[in-house]
Amino acid sequence: MNWNYRIVRYPDGRAFALHEVYYDENGKPLAMTVDPATFVTDAEDSRETVIEALKMALKDAENSPVFDPPKEWFNKEGNDEDHI
């Protein structure tokens, strides 16, 4: 499964946020993280780890169009998963 960071437009245009979006083998989006991306590492990682993740996120965001996920992705109640 492939993934990248995408700027996501929330339903009704109420907000934009950076999420990880996951794709099937044909490149069709099939899931995204419930919460926007955060850049936190374990204590044993270095600041460079965060910087590299930020660079990757910026590159993905700049090179991909805004993603408008299906509205039903935002209406799943009781979802304890990390992805919707």
10-61 per-position pLDDT tens digit: 988 889 999 999 999 999 999 999 999 999 988 888 899 999 999 999 999 9
Q: Check pLDDT > 80 for residue 81.
A: no
Q: What is the pTM of this model?
A: 0.82
Distance CA(24)–CA(1), nearest Å, equals 6
State in Å, rounded, how far the first CA of the chain is from the last one. 15
Own/partner contacts of 34-39, CB < 8 Å, gap of 24 or more, are 34/79, 34/81, 34/82, 34/83, 34/84, 37/5
Sort residue 27 into left (φ over 0), alpha (ψ -120 to 50) or beta: left
